[in-house]
């Protein structure tokens, strides 16, 4: 069996589990407690915060630990928009993760916000000109993801953030899928807020972080004991924070070389799939894309059926984003890119972590060809 659904989730790395273990057992304390048991937990949390800050190139005080990418996105979108007195207008795209889209929708429904969705090209890119045209004097927040979870397109975030800043508008990016593949230096990206999630990079599900620049006002979503400097109440998930920091450090070591090797393997895989399954068309941008994602449409088939045929051949993939799993709807991302609904329903996404070799990927292509023929034969 080969697991090619890393964009949905990844296994916990052994080093990460070992780093967490003390904080689940001996150093189990509550970091707010004023005794030695609490203090050792507080030290672990502080070290984890410093580790995540080093990963993101920010101050430790600018890191807020959350329960994952969804919460980080919710806190960024609602927390920044509600705290900003400039107005009630949001700029984003239709290819964002649901955590951003539904947060924006809530601001519209409950708080009288309006939203402008910047058009997205067929290859998944947002044009800086279109983005600039959407910004208004009453825009309180712009949010554009760094890398898309379905098609893998990587956006020109630094350019977009600079345009927002020219107008004094805070800029958030969802970097959940970019983590582990791209450097996440918030200074170089020029963003004011950035979301990450542990389970995409070898930490457990249920932990993430939001970077928010010190000068950006933030309305908390969770009220209570005032943890995380009052920005996110709730007893801290110390072991989770340690896991996130450890996974971040492991994923940063040798990042460029690993990403380059994976990109070469990806390109060979894409060519092999297109040879094995004529008619297969890669979605997303041909070059500005994640090294570990290749998503195709296979016109004349059905993505779910291809997925099942692939699983019978030992290949685990996804028919879209697992975050929307259970829904029979065509991918909102592919529809936003302009794919007709019947073609969008033929999508299959392959995504992998750095541990998957070029040889393993290459060996999958014939199975893709067989699966597509099996389904197309049935359909025909």
- What are the residue numbers of the active site? 323
Of the candidates 239, 266, 310, the one whose C-alpha atom is nearest the C-alpha of residue 48 is: 239
| Lookup result for tokens 């010190």 | 214
Region 163-182 residues binding ligand PLP, contact defined as CB under 6 A:
174, 176-177
Rounded Cα gap, residues 378 and 150, in angstroms = 26
Please report how close the Cβ of residue 210 comes to ligand PLP at its closest, in angstroms.
11
Q: Select the residue interacting with ligand PLP from 84, 140, 149, 295 (CB under 6 A).
A: 149
153 with 96: CB under 8 angstroms? no
Rounded Cα gap, residues 12 and 273, in angstroms = 29
Q: Which residues pair with 142 in a beta bridge?
A: 91, 171
Please report how close the Cβ of residue 147 comes to ligand PLP at its closest, in angstroms.
7
Q: Select the residue interacting with ligand PLP from 97, 231, 285, 345 (CB under 6 A).
A: 97
Residue 289 near ligand PLP by CB under 6 A = no
Please report how close the Cβ of residue 146 comes to ligand PLP at its closest, in angstroms.
9
Listing from the earlier edge strand, what are the strands of the sheet with 293-297? 281-282, 293-297, 347-351
Phi-psi bin for 8: left (phi > 0), alpha (psi -120 to 50), beta?
A: alpha
CB closer to ligand PLP, 40 vs 246: 246
Taking CB under 6 A as the binding criterion, the range among 66-74, 182-190, 309-317, 344-352 that sits at the site for ligand PLP is 66-74
Taking CB under 6 A as the binding criterion, the range among 35-43, 67-75, 309-317, 364-372 that sits at the site for ligand PLP is 67-75
Q: Select the residue interacting with ligand PLP from 4, 19, 58, 99 (CB under 6 A).
A: 99
Of the candidates 67, 71, 74, the one whose C-alpha atom is nearest the C-alpha of residue 244 is: 67
Residue 302 near ligand PLP by CB under 6 A = no
Residue 323 near ligand PLP by CB under 6 A = yes
CB closer to ligand PLP, 38 vs 156: 156
CB closer to ligand PLP, 135 vs 145: 145
CB closer to ligand PLP, 140 vs 293: 293
Token pair of 195, please?
A: 């979301």
Please report how close the Cβ of residue 100 comes to ligand PLP at its closest, in angstroms.
7
Rounded Cα gap, residues 40 and 45, in angstroms = 9
Q: What do you get for the CA distance between the two ends of the chain, in Å? A: 29
The site that binds ligand PLP (CB under 6 A) totals a number of residues, namely: 15
Residue 73 near ligand PLP by CB under 6 A = yes
Q: Mind giving me the DSSP string for 27-91? A: T---TT-SSHHHHHHHHHHHHHHHHHHHHHTS-GGGEEEESSHHHHHHIIIIIHHHH-TT-SEEE
Taking CB under 6 A as the binding criterion, the range among 62-70, 122-130, 183-191, 360-368 that sits at the site for ligand PLP is 62-70
Report residue 191: phi and psi, to 5°: -90, 160
Q: Select the residue interacting with ligand PLP from 197, 246, 283, 318 (CB under 6 A).
A: 197
Q: Which residues bind ligand PLP (CB under 6 A)?
A: 68-70, 73, 97, 99, 145, 149, 174, 176-177, 197, 199, 208, 323
């Amino acid at each position: 069996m080969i697991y090619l659904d890393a964009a949905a989730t990844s296994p916990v790395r052994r080093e990460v589990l070992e780093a967490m273990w003390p904080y689940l057992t001996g150093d189990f304390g509550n970091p707010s407690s004023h005794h030695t048991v609490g203090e050792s937990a507080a030290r672990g949390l502080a070290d984890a915060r410093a580790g995540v800050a080093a990963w993101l190139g920010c101050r430790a005080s600018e890191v807020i630990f959350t329960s994952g990418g969804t919460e980080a996105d919710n806190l960024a979108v609602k927390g920044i928009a509600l705290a900003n007195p400039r107005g009630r207008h949001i700029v984003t795209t239709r290819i964002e993760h649901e955590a951003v889209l539904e947060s924006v929708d809530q601001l519209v429904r409950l708080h009288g916000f309006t939203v402008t969705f910047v058009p997205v090209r067929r290859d998944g890119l947002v044009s800086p000109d279109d983005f600039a045209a959407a910004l208004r004097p009453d825009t309180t927040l712009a949010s554009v993801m760094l890398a898309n979870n379905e098609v893998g397109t990587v956006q020109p975030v630094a350019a977009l953030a600079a345009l927002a800043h020219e107008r004094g508008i805070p800029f958030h990016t969802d970097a959940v899928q970019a983590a582990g593949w791209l450097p996440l230096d918030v200074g170089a990206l020029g963003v004011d807020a950035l979301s990450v999630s542990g389970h995409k990079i070898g930490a457990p599900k249920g932990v993430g972080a939001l970077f928010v620049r010190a000068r950006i006002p933030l309305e908390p979503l969770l009220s209570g004991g005032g943890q995380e400097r009052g920005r996110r109440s709730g007893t801290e998930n110390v072991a989770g924070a340690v896991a996130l920091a450890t996974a971040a450090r492991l994923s940063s070591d040798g990042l460029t070389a690993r990403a380059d090797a994976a990109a070469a393997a990806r390109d060979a895989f894409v060519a092999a799939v297109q040879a094995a399954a004529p008619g297969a068309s890669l979605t997303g941008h041909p070059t500005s894309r994640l090294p570990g994602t290749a998503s195709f449409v296979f016109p004349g088939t059905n993505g779910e059926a291809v997925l099942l045929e692939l699983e019978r051949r030992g290949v685990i993939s996804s028919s879209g984003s697992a975050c929307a799993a259970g829904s029979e709807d065509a991918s909102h991302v592919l529809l936003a890119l302009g794919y007709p609904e019947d073609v969008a329903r033929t999508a299959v996404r392959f995504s992998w972590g750095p541990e998957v070799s070029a040889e393993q990927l290459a060996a999958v292509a014939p199975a893709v060809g067989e699966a597509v023929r099996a389904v197309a034969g049935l359909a025909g």
